Amino acid sequence: MRKHSKVIMLGFVILVWGVCSSTSGRAYGAIPTATMQEIDRVNEKGPYLGIIVPNSFEMNPLLQSPSFVADLEVPYLDYFGRRFRLGKVENEKVIIVMTGLSMLNAGIATQLLLILFKVKGVLHYGIAGNANPQLQIGDVTIPQYWAHTGLWNWQRYGDGPNDELALESNGDYTREIGYLRFANYQNASENGKPVDNFLNNVWYQPEEVFPADGIPEVRQHSFWVPVNKHYFKVAKRIEGMKFQRCVNSTCLPRAPKAVRVKSGASANAFVDNSAYREFLNSKFNITPIDMESAAVALVCHQQQIPFIAIRALSDLAGGGSAVSNEADIFASLAAQNAVDASLRFITLMFP
């Protein structure tokens, strides 16, 4: 009799909780019912091209472009601190979302976009530092691969390349990708050789990836994340496109151009250091350096959504001779160039 009473009481609690959840407009503490209904209405018009942008000064030139027309019925939908703007760009249905700074924000915004909305592909654009001495500020780069270069295993002082990393035997870390030796970047030397540095070495690590169609909790690893092959092929038709070269009376040596490159890198660090810039380029053949693209790439890779990133170079990542970072002058120009290249890509990709 006591057991039966407990079952009845449990059923009553569940019923009351369900009614309260329903009347409050939420189901299981998740998306409010009214918001879910709006999302359903939006998705009925899909699928969309998702456009992901880091910051407002990079997004505004797109929103102010005559190529963008906001949806008259639902111009935007706000959820979880993000505003998802709906409309058309060059007659292609799009959802535009701003991520905010850093890998974490970029990953969260991308995941929300792909979970909430019917998205057929992702275009990510913005500005970046330039690690490639063959290119100049203002040039628009379209990498074939992206890497997160901020995931390290920091080796203790005294250990070297032949010493196993902590937890390497468990399969958590690897020495396959390579390392940065801090002693190689000291001014002091003994007999022409770098002296030891207590910071020692950091080894670059791949991300753990759990594919949407994979076995749950069975990890895969990815350091180089490729963009979509077809998107990258279409982007070849952007190469040679010319862009504006002056900000007020300050002009670049030549008109910037668009170029496909081998690889780009992202990490939660603003690189304004010539030594690290040169290292990334010589070690990994990196051209653009930013703080978001690899996060967007990794989420799209995990969700198996076609992806491409277009990054215009706003500065030399510490490789210039100026006292201040060049982005102070050329960030607006680079942002506009990235938008112009993105609009051209959309026209070519979705004629």
Is cis: bond before 47, omega within 30 of 0?
A: yes
Q: Domain check: are 110 and 196 in the same one?
A: no
Q: Which residue among 203, 219, 238 closes a domain?
A: 203
Residues 59 and 199 in one domain: no
Q: What is the mean pLDDT of residues 285-299?
A: 98
pLDDT at 234: 98
- Could you tell me if 218 and 196 lie in one domain? no
What H or E segment, with its residue span, contains residue 85? strand 82-89
Of the pLDDT bands very low, low, confident and very high (cuts 50, 70, 90), residue 78 is: very high
Say whether both 90 and 218 belong to one domain.
yes
Residue 26 lies in a domain: no
pLDDT per residue as tens digits for the range 240-253: 898 989 999 999 99
Domain annotation covers residue 189: yes
Q: How confident is the model at residue 334 (pLDDT cuts 50, 70, 90)?
A: very high
**286 in a structural domain:** yes
pLDDT > 60? residue 91: yes
Q: Are residues 146 and 163 in the same domain?
A: no
Number of domains in the chain: 2
The CATH number of residue 240's host domain is 3.40.50.1580
Alpha helices in the chain (DSSP H): 2-23, 33-44, 56-63, 103-116, 229-235, 274-284, 293-303, 327-349
The whole-number pLDDT of residue 9 equals 42
Q: How confident is the model at residue 2 (pLDDT cuts 50, 70, 90)?
A: very low
pLDDT bucket at 23, cuts 50 / 70 / 90: very low
Q: What pLDDT does 20 receive? A: 39
pLDDT confidence of 8, banded at 50, 70, 90? very low
Q: Which long-range contacts (CB under 8 A, 24 or more apart) does 237-243 make?
A: 237/348, 238/140, 238/142, 238/341, 238/344, 238/345, 238/348, 241/140, 241/340, 241/341, 241/344, 243/138, 243/140, 243/312, 243/336, 243/337, 243/340, 243/341
The pLDDT tens digits for 45-57 are 999 999 999 999 9
What confidence score (pLDDT) does residue 13 get?
Answer: 38
Q: Compute CA distances 91 → 71, 126, 266, 290, whole Å.
A: 11, 22, 31, 30
15: Cβ–Cβ under 8 A, 6 or more apart, which residues?
none
> Identity (one letter) of the amino acid at 236?
K
- Check whether residue 242 and residue 159 sit in a common domain: no
Same domain, 143 and 160: no
Residue that terminates a domain, selected from 137, 171, 203: 203
Q: What pLDDT was estimated at residue 28?
A: 53
The string of pLDDT tens digits covering residues 221-237 is 999 999 999 999 999 99
Distance between first and last Cα of the chain: 71
Asked whether residue 18 carries a pLDDT value surpassing 90, the answer given is no
CA dist 272 and 285 (Å) reads 18
Confidence tier at 192 by pLDDT (50, 70, 90): confident
Q: What is the pLDDT of residues 111-131, one digit of tens each?
A: 999 999 999 999 999 999 999
In this structure, the answer to whether residues 255 and 286 fall within a common structural domain is: yes
The answer as to whether 11 is a domain residue is no
Residues 121 and 58 in one domain: yes
Rounded to the nearest integer, the mean pLDDT of the chain is: 91
User: What are the residues whose beta carbons fall under 8 Å from the beta carbon of 169, sequence distance 6 or more?
Assistant: none
The answer as to whether 185 is a domain residue is yes
Predicted TM-score of the model (pTM): 0.90
Residue at 213 is within a domain: yes
Confidence of residue 31 (pLDDT cuts 50, 70, 90): confident
Domain range holding 110?
Answer: 33-150+208-349
Residue 247, in any domain of the structure: yes
- State what percent of residues in the chain have pLDDT above 90: 83
Shared domain check, 248 and 99 = yes
Please choose, from the candidates 261, 284, 250, 257, the residue with its C-alpha nearest in 3D space to the C-alpha of residue 340.
257
Q: Is residue 248 part of a domain?
A: yes
Residues 332 and 297 in one domain: yes
Residues 117 and 215 in one domain: yes
* pLDDT over 70 at 16, yes or no: no
